Amino acid sequence: MPEYQLTTHSYEDTEKLGEKLSDLLKIGDVIVLNGDLGVGKTTLTRGLARGLGIKRNVKSPTFTLIREYKDGRVPLYHMDAYRLESSPDEDLGFDEYFNGQGITIVEWPQFIKDEIPKEHLSINIKRLSDTDRQVIFKTHGTKFNKRGFEELV
């Protein structure tokens, strides 16, 4: 499991990181985002969406569970599993997203950990200060080999 680490220094840096990340992703990729509330998970996703050519405003899917953005070069499925903490066995059709024709991002993946494919990219975001974030990318499985994640750091 290769691991790559970097620090962003502003909201804009985190968004730009997401935009650069979009160039390294492929249809069928699943990205899990870990980090405390307000650390920048949706900010990173917003940049990734912009990199995919999505024009719509990306918002946290906390209350809807899944937001679909299909107006870019690749569909983006943005999930927030936080509300599933009390009912993780609910069947919401995750397989259709994880094995579909888009890129899937999951915030709070620990609440649906048994559903997450073995081959995925995990991104952990940690608050270092009001503006600085430590971002750690970790690949799980071989499908992410030779994608160029080292170029992000």
Q: How far apart are alpha carbons 54 and 146 in whole angstroms?
A: 26
**The total number of structural domains that make up the chain:** 1
Phi-psi region of 146 (alpha: psi -120 to 50; beta: other; left: phi over 0): left
For residue 153, is it within any domain? no
Query: Residue 62 has what pLDDT?
Result: 64
Sheet holding 76-80, edge to edge: 3-8, 133-140, 120-127, 30-34, 103-107, 76-80, 66-69
For residue 16, is it within any domain? yes
For residue 73, is it within any domain? yes
Q: How far apart are alpha carbons 55 and 11 in whole angstroms?
A: 19
**Cα torsion at 138, 141, 46, 103 (round to 10°)?**
180
Cβ of 134: how many Cβ atoms within 10 Å? Answer: 15
Measuring CA to CA, which residue among 84, 82, 95, 85 is closest to residue 30? 95
* CATH number (domain holding residue 112): 3.40.50.300
Q: What is the CA radius of gyration of the chain?
A: 14
Phi-psi region of 65 (alpha: psi -120 to 50; beta: other; left: phi over 0): left
Q: What is the pLDDT along the chain (153 residues), one digit of tens a residue?
A: 788 999 999 999 999 999 999 999 999 999 999 999 889 999 999 999 999 999 998 887 666 688 899 999 999 999 987 666 555 455 566 778 888 899 999 998 988 888 899 999 999 999 999 999 999 999 999 999 888 888 887
For residue 56, is it within any domain? yes
Query: Residue 25 has what pLDDT?
Result: 96
For residue 152, is it within any domain? no
pTM of the model: 0.90
Query: Residue 95 has what pLDDT?
Result: 79
For residue 93, is it within any domain? yes
Residue 14's domain comprises 3-147
